[in-house]
Amino acid sequence: MNGLTLEIPASRFVWPAWREHGFAFGVALALHAGLAYVLLNLSHQAPMPAPVSAVLTTQLITLPAPVVAPVVPVLAEPPAPAPVPVPEPEPVARAPVVEQADLAFKRVEQERREKARQVQRERQQREQALREERLAREEQQRQALREQQLARARQAETERQAAANAAAAAAAGAEAEAASRQYLPIAKQAPDYPARALERKIEGECTVAYTVTAAGRVEDPQVVGSCHPMFVKASLAAAKTFRYQPRVVNGQAVAVANVKNTFSYRIQ
């Protein structure tokens, strides 16, 4: 038990055998370890020669995997296609030179006609634009002329109306002037200032309306409008003293109604 050497031929040790006897190897190693421990403890009481440790030599051999050559399929060559017969080109019939020249002349003539039609269309468009512009200008002139005529007509109507108004005013003035000359006052006496109004310094106006008779006298005088009571009696008395030139119509004197006269009372 002092030295135990277990040798395993290398030629017999392969990976499958190791796996099958691994358990036995482990047990053997455990026994050797326990024996070594006991021997070491006993060596303290009595020196003993150093035990020779068991040596277990193992060698792992890996066999190379077999090399399998790839199988390359051999493709059979397809049969060569049969030659296709190439048709011979048909001979191209060339047009005579005269026909080519005729075609070129026709093409040039067609282009010339097309250009002439284009020029004619452009000329027609310009003429149409000029015609429309002329019509628009003439319409503007006619519109301006109508506006001027309307303005002149309005001005003439205004002037005529103004002349008619002036004539009517002149006729009315002439008639009024003729009427006033026909019953012009001959004598007018100012009224006496009422003493009571003068003491109280009262001023005012009083309008009296009356009828001038065919004899030129004042008839039926009456106060119209606002008048201070102190000036009523004096105004009526003064109006009765007026004398007029009677109005004559067709050679006959006539009365004139609603003749008015205003008396002003002012303290100087």
- Residues paired with 254 in a beta bridge: 247
Is residue 71 in a domain?
no
Domain count, the chain: 3
Is residue 125 in a domain?
yes
* Whether the predicted pLDDT of 72 surpasses 60: no
Per the CB < 8 A criterion, the answer to whether 259 and 183 are in contact is: yes
Mind listing the pLDDT tens digit for each residue in 215-234? 889 999 999 988 999 999 99
Q: Which domain holds residue 225?
A: 185-265
Mind listing the pLDDT tens digit for each residue in 119-178? 999 999 999 999 999 999 999 999 999 999 999 999 999 999 888 888 888 877 666 655
- CATH assignment at residue 210: 3.30.2420.10
Is residue 214 in a domain?
yes
